[in-house]
A and B are shown apart, each in its own frame.
Chain A
């Protein structure tokens, strides 16, 4: 309905303000305009009210013609009966089912990435049938100020809290604060959960440097600039209780429990993105992560395999990354065909002390190691439910300085590499079946042919289409 009185009052109030009152002539003009508006309104409103009554009568008629269930919806209100139920405020729940059949030429038990860190998590996949990581995600607005989310991963008899965080909704000014446990915003692939990956496995660099996903307990602040292009800056402080600072689990020799106040890891990232015409969009990012083993120490790279004894490292770890995502869809409509290109490069620097042969001579000296890796991948959806993808990834041994230990630890002259091809079928937004082949040369001078047939099903709440 029209609020004629409110209009007049608002107009009058507006003109009482000094900004409005320019001079008397203007005021007179405004008064006349208001008078004219009033007159025209009154005739129009009468006509409109008549039309509205007719339209509403017609709408009611149309409703009653429909099914009874539809007629019950004639009033624009939430679906009837919902208010009465105690579970009306239940959070959004979604469950990811993931299973795989693997055929690997080499035994996964011998898997290693020559010259690179070897956390327990790293596993190329199992032979035969196996259940992948099932995930349960629960999320909802907490109140007008906060949003909360938790993501549990179930694997082989254990449940892991992958993410459990709150996030602010009402800070404004482009600022968002996140706290709790969450996957870090560094890089492109890092924040993605396995069911969202475009391939069965993550890139070798992400696997070796970040243990698939670098997540931490801490706080994150992001800020989006008030610009027509997308510019986002983010910073994180965290406990540093995961790779590359430390392993998540204690091993026989490595002690990773941090017994101190204050943060153990810092991360910074910046992103720029936008559209180029209606068909192309992009995002580029740079990231930096600074952490350390703190007082703990752990077995580094595959030094133990190379030397045949146990070695421990303590010191700092710094990671630098650059990432690029490019998406194309004809006229920006990805439903029929679309192409997604991703490239990511990251470098890990470690600096500290290395103890060679812990049970024996225990030779300690300064140590420096710089390694990097990158991948390029493209996924093309060539018809509505089918996609094909290829990926190439490679790691580089980089450079190291071992001091006195140089004589004890033989160097490696091998760059692990892998190429992959996949095809997946997506009958709906909620299901995916994928076949992937890996030509995996992670181990020195060994080519492992790996084939995976995988399903990923999503039950419950509709997930977000992240860029």
Chain B
């Protein structure tokens, strides 16, 4: 035990002296915010990404590795709107890090900056695992990304004023590129207007709304509840009167329910990246939207 203590304290001392001039430590919950923080921070930030594109932000646990990183973070960049309700509050309480507590400049919640869709009119768990502040999958509308990027750039400058000019320049550069690309995507995605899809979870509704698509049905009977064969059977019946063109799911969703319905309803399944790293093409935020649109267009107009 004594040896252990000496080792720990020694290592801590070594690290804190070495880290005196290190970059700003950013703890990003989701891959989209990790990528955005790198875009805006460049070499002035060191970004830790808590979860990967293969993981579902609803279902993460407060793992020891996350606790260790949260302890040393200067800035926390997360979605908020209770997306991370099952693990982030516990991390914040236990990590002993004053800087990233709620209300501190080091706590950045992206969802606070944008209007949420699907704010439930009735809060009752008979409706499933509902999010009282609305649908938290906000990053899939590129106009939301613009707002969030602008605010995150300002926040980086606030938390690390010595490099404010650096963050402002990079933010302006990103916003300029982003602003130029949105109309290009919109032009391309005109081909998707009115496309009806069945989604696994309601995690693409911002994207669908932006692109003028329609998604009235989900494979989950209620948010967060697992699809059952009985419910999928109901959907199959509904699809006869309200036909759809495809079924969408994320890489992290169970492939079985969509495969089941796809086989019986003769509908193609589109696996969408959901976030950066979700597919090979979704290398950054630009790739995420480009690849999502490409995959949807290829499904609607194969070949």
Which residues of A are interface residues toward B (Cβ below 8 A)?
1-3, 7, 10-11, 14, 34, 37, 40-41, 44-45, 47-48, 51-52, 55, 58-59, 62-63, 66, 69-70, 73-76, 79, 141, 144, 147, 167, 169-176, 222-233, 268, 270-271, 273-275, 278, 281-283, 286, 288, 327, 331-336, 384-385, 427-430, 459, 462-467
Q: Which of B1-44 contact A (CB under 8 A)?
A: 1, 4-5, 8, 11-12, 15-16, 19
Closest to B223 in A: A428
Scan residues 235-254 of chain B and give those whose CB is less than 8 A from a CB of chain A.
252-254
Q: In the complex, which residue of chain A has the Cβ closest to the Cβ of B72?
A: A226
Interface residue from B12, B98, B154 paired with A170 (Cβ < 8 Å)? B98
Can you list 17 A-B contacts with CB-CB less than 8 angstroms, sorted by A residue number? A47-B179, A51-B146, A59-B115, A175-B96, A224-B67, A227-B15, A227-B68, A229-B68, A270-B4, A332-B55, A334-B59, A335-B56, A428-B128, A465-B90, A467-B61, A467-B63, A467-B64
With a CB–CB cut-off of 8 A, which chain B residues contact A62? 209-210
Among candidates B93, B143, B224, residue contacting A169 with C-beta atoms closer than 8 Å: B93
Cα distance, A273 to B65, chains bound together (Å): 7
In the complex, the answer to whether B65 meets A231 with C-beta atoms within 8 Å is: no
- Which of B162-170, B189-197, B258-266, B279-287 is the contact stretch? B162-170
A11→B165 contact, CB < 8 A:
yes
> A14-B165, A428-B129 are contacts. A226–B15 as well, Cβ < 8 Å?
yes
Q: Which residues of B contact A63 (CB under 8 A)?
A: 115
**A123, B247: Cα distance in complex, Å:** 52
Contact yes or no, B98 A465, CB < 8 A: no
> What is the CA–CA distance of A462 and B87 in the complex, to the nearest angstrom?
10
B121 touches which of A69, A173, A288 (Cβ 8 Å): A69
Smallest CB-CB separation from B118: which chain A residue? A70
Whether A174 pairs with B96 at a CB distance below 8 angstroms is yes
Chain B residues lying within 8 Å of A228, measured Cβ to Cβ, are: 68-69
Inter-chain contact B59/A55, CB cutoff 8 Å: no
CA distance A283 to B161 in the complex (A): 37
CB distance from A351 to the nearest CB of B (A): 20
Per CB-CB distance, the 6 closest pairs between chain A and chain B, nearest first, are A273-B64, A230-B64, A172-B98, A331-B54, A230-B68, A464-B90
Contact of B96 among A1, A3, A172, A275 (CB under 8 A): A172
Q: Interface SS of chain A: helix, strand, loop or mixed?
A: mixed
List CB contacts (< 8 Å) of B38-94 with chain A.
Answer: 51-52, 54-56, 59-65, 67-69, 71-72, 82, 85-87, 89-90, 92-94
Cβ contact within 8 Å between A48 and B179: yes
- For residue B185, CB closer than 8 A to chain A, the reply is no
A335 lies within 8 A of B12 (CB): no
A275 / chain B contacts, CB cutoff of 8 Å: 63, 65
Asked if A48 contacts B175 (CB within 8 A), the reply is: yes
Known: A70-B119, A172-B97, A465-B60. A10 touches B164 (CB 8 A): yes
Q: Which residues of chain A are near B19, meaning CB under 8 Å?
A: 226
Closest chain B residue to A459, Cβ basis: B125
18 more A-B residue pairs beyond the given contacts A7-B165, A62-B210, A224-B71, with a C-beta to C-beta distance below 8 A: A2-B150, A10-B165, A40-B172, A225-B8, A227-B12, A227-B15, A228-B68, A228-B69, A271-B64, A273-B67, A327-B63, A331-B52, A428-B125, A429-B224, A459-B125, A464-B87, A464-B89, A465-B90
Enumerate chain A residues within 8 angstroms of B159, measured Cβ to Cβ: none
Tell yes or no: B225 within 8 A of A by CB: yes
Flag B107-147 by CB within 8 Å of A: 1 or 0 each.
00000111111110100010011001110000000010010
Smallest CB-CB separation from A74: which chain B residue? B115
Judging by beta carbons under 8 Å apart, are A230 and B65 in contact?
A: yes
A7 neighbours in B (Cβ, 8 Å)? 164-165, 168
B101 within 8 A of A: yes
Task: Give Cα A283–Cα B63 distance, bound, in whole angstroms.
Answer: 9
Q: How far is the CB of B226 from chain A (nearest CB, A)?
A: 5
User: How far in angstroms is the closest Cβ of chain B from A191?
Assistant: 11
Residue contact B86 to A429, C-beta cutoff 8 Å: yes
A51 to chain B: closest residue by CB: B179
Separation of A274 and B69 alpha carbons in the complex (Å): 10
The answer on a CB contact under 8 Å between A14 and B65 is no
> Given A41-B172, A331-B55, A332-B55, does the pair A174, B95 have CB atoms closer than 8 Å?
yes
Write out the residue numbers on chain A whose beta carbons fall within 8 Å of the beta carbon of B143: 55, 58-59
Cβ contact within 8 Å between B63 and A333: no
Which residues does chain A contribute within 8 Å of B129, judged by CB atoms? 428-430, 462
| Chain B minimum-CB-distance residue to A30 | B165
Bound form: Cα–Cα A294–B150 in Å:
63
Q: Once the chains bind, are A465 and B164 in contact (CB under 8 Å)?
A: no
Q: Which residues of chain B have C-beta atoms less than 8 A from A335's C-beta? A: 56, 59, 252-254
Contact B254 A52 (CB under 8 A): no
| A175 nearest CB neighbor, chain B only | B96
Let me know if B99 is at the binding interface, CB within 8 A.
Answer: yes
Q: Using Cβ atoms and an 8 Å threshold, which residues of chain A touch B254? A: 335-336, 384
CB neighbours of A223 from chain B (8 A): 96
**CB-contact partner of A55 in B119, B146, B165, under 8 A:** B146
Distance in Å: Cβ of B146 to nearest Cβ of chain A: 7
Measured CA separation A74–B72 after assembly (Å)? 36
User: Which of A70, A172, A274 meets B65, CB within 8 Å?
Assistant: A274
Q: Is B229 in contact with chain A by the CB < 8 A criterion?
A: no
Residues A171 and B161 in contact in the complex (CB < 8 Å), given A429-B129, A462-B86: no
Q: Does B303 count as interface, using CB distance less than 8 angstroms?
A: no
Residues of A within 8 A of B63 (CB): 273, 275, 281, 327, 467
A44 in contact with B86 (CB, 8 Å)? no
Residues of chain A within 8 A of B209, CB atoms compared: 62
Q: B182 on the interface (CB 8 Å rule)?
A: yes
Q: Would you give the shortest CB distance from B220 to chain A, in whole angstroms?
A: 11
A433 CB to nearest chain B CB (Å): 15
Contacts of A66 in B (CB 8 A): 117
Contact B96 A332 (CB under 8 A): no
| B-side contacts of A172, CB under 8 Å | 96-99
A141: chain B residues at CB < 8 Å are 102
**CA distance in complex: A55, B180 (Å):** 12
A63–B19 CA distance with the chains assembled, in angstroms: 47
Q: Does B157 contact A (CB under 8 A)?
A: yes
Residue from A34, A224, A230 with most neighbouring chain B CB atoms (10 Å): A224
- How many Å lie between the Cα of A466 and that of B94 in the bound state? 11
Chain B residues near A465: list those with CB within 8 A.
59-62, 86-87, 90
B116 CB contacts on chain A under 8 angstroms: 73
A7 to B162, CA, bound (A): 12
Given contacts A429-B86, A466-B62, contact A174 B165 (CB under 8 A): no
B302 within 8 Å of A by Cβ? no
A51 B90 Cβ-Cβ under 8 A:
no
CB pair B224–A428 under 8 Å, yes or no, is yes
In angstroms, Cα B257 to Cα A384, docked, is 12
| A172-B97, A227-B12 given; A44·B172 CB < 8 A | yes
Residues on the A chain within 8 Å of B252, using CB = 333, 335
